[in-house]
Structure 1
Amino acid sequence: MDILIYLLIGLITGYVGGYAGIGGGPFIVAALVLFAGLTQLQAQGSMLAIMMGPMSFLGVLSLKQEVKALLPSIIIGVVSYCIFSYLGAVFAFYIGEMDMRLYFAILLIFLGVLQLKNFSFISSKSSPKKKIAHGWIFLLGAITGIFGGLFGIGAGVLMVPVLIQFFTMDKNYARALSLAILLPPVSLGGFLKYNAEMPVNWTLVICVFLGYFIANHFGAKAGNLSSNTNFKRYYAFLLFALSLVYLVVLV
């Protein structure tokens, strides 16, 4: 029964992650806590272990033209994310289990607001960009690496809305950058810290990874067909709904 639950979590979050281009980390962490009985820190460590595999490979394939155009930026993002994820993991164990649950829920609310908010300094008439400066990519990789290690999530949950809102990046290019950064084992630094504190359940990790891997491609295909407006609305709704459940049940 546990194996079926793990597979189902992987299938559902894989589709959602591919659709939004976010790697599915927040959804997997919450599902492991809510339905698989893991503690917050155990779920976050498991998520970082899942990310060690090429979980976004099929999603990247569906965006291969965009990935090819962004290759230098992807390399920079991978390096900076991997370096700073360990630092985030150290912070997570310093904060502790119960406070991490509350901060995780707050993070989801913040990301939902970020996805919907229209920033006044961004012109509604701005043309979507396909690339941004490499210095910004390194900074984004570092920030998301810290957040990744702290909350056990991937780059996209923060990077995609920032790229779209602050840098007016085309949504498919933002999703491609995020998914491609997640393809190598960028969570290695954070994983080493979590696994040293509480070894992961590798049966769970493999089952969730397989389910995610299968469904991610179909979610990414659906995301390609979604308009920018619908993309933001669906993404924000999922984050708000998840944060509400988290607050009511766990905090």
Structure 2
Amino acid sequence: FFYMCDPIIYVLLGLAVGYIGGFAGIGGGPFLVSFLVLYCGMSQLVAQGNILTMMLGPMSLLGVMSLYQYVKTQWLNIVVGVICYCICSYFGAIFAFYIGETDLKYYFAVLLIIIALMQFRSYLRKNAKEPHKEHISVYWIGVLAAVTGILGGMFGIGAGVLMVPILIGVFKLKKEYARALSLAILIPPVSYGAFIKYNNVNPVDWQLVGILFGTYFIANFFGARMGSKISGKAFTLIYGLILLSIAIIYLV
């Protein structure tokens, strides 16, 4: 299925999503999975397996390096988040195959809508006080990482797409600390548990994975630097609209 799209398309996709991922502190999984399914014609499960395999590498390393001052105070939370996410991603993958291809696409669309609504809520809170915390309880990180690990294994997404808005909106963590924590959790092979299940059923395309990882890795650094310099308010609205549009295409 690699040649369903020209390789240059995968290069451009990796660069674009890598930049967005670094900018917003997310892994970019929803964009990658939906593009492979809707544009390249892959099955939902095959696309998710390939993207979760891509996440085995240190895809956010350069982004974390640019945010290291915010990472170095959160090592315990990062370690706990990695362990909980990795273990629970395996169970998420089991759920994905139990649900099946057709229903999984429907639930994936619902997830995108939920994420989009979270972005809209953040955008509309113009007069809300800015998050002020620089640290949250390690126990809450364990719970949050476990939940996002299950959803990540089910839908082929990384930690950040759910973790960052929750850390900022619910736990009032400052934006840079939330982005740094999310990106740092993605450095180790946190999706290894899910990878085992997906690869056993549908062997991954390592050439595709290599192209997406390499391009994402390079672009992630520049996105993270830009995200530290400018407000993410406008991006939040655009990000939510894009996710909502993808969900509508899935449902229609």
Offset from partner CA, 1:83-142 (integer Å, 9 cap, x none): 100000000000111111111111011011112226xxxx93365211100000000010
Most deviating of 189-198 and 5-14: 5-14
Give the direction of change, closer, same or farther, for the CA distance of 1:226–1:110 in structure 2 (3 Å limit): same
Give the direction of change, closer, same or farther, for the CA distance of 1:129–1:6 in structure 2 (3 Å limit): same
| Counterpart Cα distance in 1 of 2:232 and 2:16 | 22
Counterpart amino acid of residue 90 in structure 2: Y
Matches within 5 A, 1:81-120: 81-117=85-121
Q: Please name the residue that 2:22 is paired with.
A: 18
Q: TM-score, normalised by structure 1?
A: 0.92
Q: Please name the residue that 1:154 is paired with.
A: 158
Counterpart among 227, 243, 247 of residue 243 in structure 1: 247
| Counterpart Cα distance in 2 of 1:191 and 1:130 | 33
C-alpha contact 1:223 1:231 (8 A) present in aligned 2: no
| Counterpart Cα distance in 2 of 1:227 and 1:197 | 43
Give the direction of change, closer, same or farther, for the CA distance of 1:173–1:238 in structure 2 (3 Å limit): farther
RMSD (Å), alpha carbons = 1.7
Q: Please name the residue that 1:65 is paired with.
A: 69
Identity of aligned residues (%): 55
Task: Note if 1:220 corresponds to 2:220.
Answer: no
Counterpart among 178, 186, 189 of residue 185 in structure 1: 189
Gaps of 5+ in 1: none
C-alpha contact 1:18 1:24 (8 A) present in aligned 2: no
Q: Could you say what secondary structure the match of 2:72 adopts?
A: helix
Counterpart among 196, 201, 206 of residue 202 in structure 1: 206
Gaps of 5+ in 2: none
C-alpha contact 2:63 2:183 (8 A) present in aligned 1: yes
| Counterpart Cα distance in 2 of 1:246 and 1:211 | 26
C-alpha contact 1:2 1:36 (8 A) present in aligned 2: no
Give the direction of change, closer, same or farther, for the CA distance of 1:246–1:138 in structure 2 (3 Å limit): same
Task: Note if 1:171 corresponds to 2:175.
Answer: yes
Q: TM-score, normalised by structure 2?
A: 0.92
Task: Note if 1:145 corresponds to 2:149.
Answer: yes
| Counterpart Cα distance in 1 of 2:251 and 2:227 | 28
Counterpart amino acid of residue 211 in structure 2: C
Give the direction of change, closer, same or farther, for the CA distance of 1:213–1:146 in structure 2 (3 Å limit): same
| Counterpart Cα distance in 1 of 2:71 and 2:238 | 24
Q: Could you say what secondary structure the match of 1:117 adopts?
A: helix
